[in-house]
Amino acid sequence: MPRDMDILPDFTPGQMEIAPIPLFQWDGDLSRALDEGLAPDDALRMFQVMLFIRSFEEMVVQLKSGKFAPMPGYKFIGATHLSIGQEGVAVGAISAIRPDDYITSTHRGHGHSIAKGAFALYGSSPQELVDFVARIGWTASVDDPDLLHRAIQAHMNQAMAELLGKEEGYCRGRGGGMHIADFHAGHLGANAIVGGSMAIATGAAMGSQKLGTDRVVLCLFGDGATNNGIAHEAMNFASMAQFEQGTPVVFIIENNQYCMTCQEVGEVTGITHLARRGVGYNEVNMHAETVNGMSATAVHEAVSRAVALCRSGQGPVLLDCKTYRYLGHSLSDDRKAYRTEEEEAAWRAIDAIETFEKQALAAGILTPEKAAEYRETAKSMVYEATKWAGTEAHDPDPSTMYEGLLTDTTSEGIGPEWATPESALVTPATHQKRDNQGRILYRHAVTEAIMEEMVRDRRVILYGEDVADYGGAFGATRGLIDTFGRDRVFNSPISESAIPGTGCGAAMVGMRPVVELMYIDFVLMAMDQIGNQCAKSRYMFGGKMLIPMVIRTTIGGGKGYAGQHSQSLEAVLCMFPGLKVVAPATAYDVKGLLKAAIRDDNPVVFIEHQLSYLEKDAVPEDDYTVPLGVAKVAREGTDITVVAYSYMWNVAMQAAEMAEAEGISVEVVDPRTLIPLDVDTIAASVSKTGRCIVLQQAPEIGCFGEHIAYEVQQRCWSSLKAPVRVLAAYNVPPPMAQTLESENLPSPAKTLANIKEMLGK
C-alpha cells in the first residue's frame, strides 16, 4: 500500500466536516420491537435472562453478607463486582448475535457470561443440549421435555461453581468471578484489567475474518476503559484503512456513569457522550452512537444494526450504552461518598427489568401470573445452582496446580489441510542463497523460517511495526510481503500493547500469528497484554483453549543506542508463567527454533539479537525444527562450564578459544530456550567440570542468569569446586558512550579473566 499510494503535499484551505453522532435515536418500546420483527418467544427469553442475571447477582450479595451459606462453615472469598441495574445492556446486546459469535467481557461480567451461555443454549440442538449437561456429569435424552431447562440449570451451576472456585466451574476455579470464560459458547473471557480485552476482541475479529468466517465479536467494556491506552490502540487498530473489509467488532461501552468512584461526565473527561470517541478513528466515526442502555430493546436494535454492518464489511462499530450500576464498585463500597439518593432513585425508576415486564404485559405477550412464575423460576434455579456448587462441586485438587498452564500439543502433522494454495502466493516462495559452505545470515534464517511456516500453514500471519514493505528495522522479514501479500504480512500502528494483544485474540479463534516488537525495550509498554493476557489466559480460563502465537523481539547492545534500545530484558518475560521464552544464538538454531515456536500451541516470546543478524551459519534448506526446551553443548571441555545464550554465546565461544590457547578446557552450554529451561544438560556439564560461569548481557541484579545459577547449585552442590559465578553487565542502564558501553558488556577478554580467576590461574 505505501508503494501504491503517494501522499503529496496539499494545503488547500478548507474545513473538515464531522458527521453527526446519533443520540438515543431508537426511542420505541417492546411493542415497536415486536412490530419490527422481534419474535414474542425471543422477547420472553430476554426477560428470563435478565431475571437470571439479577437473581444470580442478588445471591452474590447474600453469599458475601453471610445471609446465605450453601454449606455449613462456608465463607465467601473473591471479588464482588456486580452489574445489578445493567442487565438491559448484557441481554439486549447478546440476544442480537448468533450463538457462534464471540464476546469478550469485563471484571463486572457475570451478566455477560450468563447471557452468552443462555442464548447459546437457546440456539442449540437437542443433542447439543444433551452433550452440554454431560459436562457436569448429568445424563439426559434428546426427547426429555425438560431438556432445555436442565441445560440452563447446568449453565447456572457452572457459572456459580466458578464464582465459588470449584473444579466444575467454567474455568475449573482458576479464574473466579472476574475471569470467567466459556469457549464452547464463544465467550473469550472476562478480564479484571480495565480495557484488558479490547485488543483481544479486535484480534479475534481480525482472525475470524482471515479464517473466512462471518463471525462478529462483541467487546463489552466499561466507561472507565475508554480512558485507558489500550482502548485507543485497539480501536485504532480495528479501524485501519488497510483492513479493506473492515474489522467485525462491535465495541460496546457499558456506561454505568462511574469508573470506580469518579464520574465520566464533569470530572475525568471533557465530553458528555463517550460515543464522541469514535470521531478520532475513521471517517464514519466508527458508526458511533449513544444508546439507552436501560432499555433492552433499544440495545438489541442498535446491536442488531451494528452486527449487520460488521457482517457486510463495514465494521468496527462503537456503541455508548448509558446504564447505571445500583451498587458500588464492589460490595465493600457503600457509594455514599460520591452518589446521592436522588440520583440512584431516578435510575431505579427506569429499571430495565421492570420496564420490560410492564411493556410485555401491555403488549399481551406476558401475563402477571407468568411473570411471577419467571421470577420464581430464576430465583429457584440460582438457589439450586448455589447449593449444587457448595455441596456437590469439588474443590480443585492441589496436585492439579499446573494443569492448564501449558499444553504439549503442536500443529505438527497437519498435512495439507491448512497449506497455502500455490495460487494464493503473490510470487513463488524461495529459499535464501547459500554460500559454498551452505551458510546464510542469521537474519535470513529468520526470514526463511517464517516463509516456510507461512507456506505450510495459511493460518500463520505476520505483522508488527514496519515489517511489510521495509522488511523490519533489521531486514529480517524482507521479501515476505512479496510472496504472501498484504493480507498476511502487514504493518501495525506503533501500538506496542495492541500488537501482542490482538495476536492473543487472533490465536484464541484459530490463527497462528507471528507478531513483532521491534526492540525488547518496548515490551515494557506491552507488559499488560503480554503478562496479563497472553501468558495467563489459558491457565486463568481453565486450560480450555489454545493460544498459538509468537512474539518476536530483539536485543540490542554494542551499537551506542543507550538505555532505551539496548536492554536485555528476557528475565522480565520469564517471570510470567504461561509463556515460553526462546533466545537462539546461531542461524541454524534460529530457523529450527522459530519454526518450532510457530508450530507450538503456546504463546512463545522469541528473542533475536541484533548483533547476530549478520553472523553466518550452515542452515539446511530441508524442513527441520529444533525442539523447545533442549539445550546443546556447543563446545566440550573439562575444566569449567560457561552457560551462555543469544549473543553471549559468541562471546563465550571466543573466550573458550582464547582459553584453549592457554591450556584451559572450557565447555560451553547454550540453553537456547529459557522457558522451559533444560536444567539436565546444564547440570550434567557442571557436574563434570565442577565450575560454572553464567554469562549475561543483562545487569547482574535480577538477570535470568541468577536463576540458572540457582538451578546449578541445587543440582550440582556436591560436584561444585567453587561458587557459581554470574558474569553480567553493570547495574546501570546501558550507556551510550563507546568507552562506557564497551566496559559495561561482558567481552571475551573479561570472560577469560573470570575463567582464569575461578581456576586460580
Active site residues: 565
Residue 238 to residue 370: CA distance in whole angstroms? 44
> What is the side-by-side order of every strand in the sheet holding 692-699?
632-635, 666-670, 640-643, 692-699, 725-729
- The angle formed by the CA atoms of residues 7, 12 and 18, to the nearest 5 degrees, is 85
Q: How far apart are CA 130 and CA 132, in angstroms?
A: 5
* CA torsion through residues 327, 329, 333, 334, sign: negative
Give me the half-sphere count of Cα atoms (radius 13 Å) on the Cβ side of residue 286. 30
Measure the CA–CA gap between 528 and 526, rounded to whole angstroms: 6
Q: Residue 23, CB half-sphere, CA atoms under 13 Å: how many?
A: 5
Given 3-state DSSP classes, what are the helix, strand and coil percentages for the chain, each rounded to the nearest 5?
Answer: 45, 15, 45
DSSP 3-state of 142 = coil
Sheet harboring 289-292: ordered strands across? 102-104, 217-222, 249-255, 317-322, 289-292
> What does DSSP say about strands 217-222 and 632-635: parallel, antiparallel, or unpaired?
unpaired
- Nearest alpha carbon to residue 683 among 648, 728, 633, 725: 633
**CA distances to 226, 590, 667 from 644, in Å:** 44, 15, 11
State residue 431 phi and psi, 5-degree precision.
-85, 165
* Residues contacting 680, CB < 8 A, separation 6+: none
In whole angstroms, give the CA distance from residue 421 to residue 676: 35
**Contact at 8 Å (CB) between 34 and 365?**
yes
